[in-house]
Structure 1
């Protein structure tokens, strides 16, 4: 799968671990930055991820920050993006199953690294259920 990823300084450490994990799993990953833990403004790195997913250049996106909230808000401002802020395996499963989320937002300060990697795996392997949820997705996009 082709995956776009970006973070601010507060999500940088987990971003690096996720990139390695994804590449080891055979995924093609594009890192949109940041490239260090020096303080930055997150929209500069999150919006390009969301735009790449919305354009269809990448199948999924992952954005990270301290809490993941600002990153999710930024990504969701891009038409065609459905970014889910996830904090455990069930939230990751449901954001795909019911919401067909195409971008995942994670907060590095909200969980340990092992949990973050497991959330990424659930996000990437869970299919959209469709059915009654499809009408809701259309309503969101209207």
Structure 2
């Protein structure tokens, strides 16, 4: 499975550590690649655009669970919240800000999240690796959760 990963300057160290700790994952690193200050929305945009392409292809092929498709995403910034806010502006993106293993599992199982957002300031590398492994290995439960996930994509007209 391909995992698109992006971070801002605050998330760089954690990104590098989790990528090194998980060498079996096929990472597509969209940046940032230095500690110079950058704007997190730029990296959330890059990852989100790639996941949207994958999601649209999955829908064409009747694949509901994004884990069965070729890609998921990982975004890391200082709090994780900015990345999640920006990513969720994209249609078909369900970015989940996770702070422990249970939330990572539930975000996939119940919400079919396709991007995991982590806080570099509040997640240790060991906890981040555990959340990533859980996120990537958990399947969407479907069933009663599908109609709820479908409602997430409904335009509210606001």
Question: Which TM-score tier does this pair reach, normalised by the shorter chain?
Answer: over 0.9
How many angstroms apart in 2 are the aligned matches of 1:79 and 1:44? 17
- Offset from partner CA, 1:79-136 (integer Å, 9 cap, x none): 1100000000011010001000000000010121100110000000011111110000
Corresponding position of 1:35? 33
1:1-142 matches, cutoff 5 A: 1-22=1-22, 24-25=23-24, 27-56=25-54, 59-142=71-154
TM-score (norm 2): 0.85
How many angstroms apart in 1 are the aligned matches of 2:115 and 2:101? 15
Give the unaligned 5+ runs of structure 1: none
- Offset from partner CA, 1:46-66 (integer Å, 9 cap, x none): 111011001118510000000
Corresponding position of 2:62? none
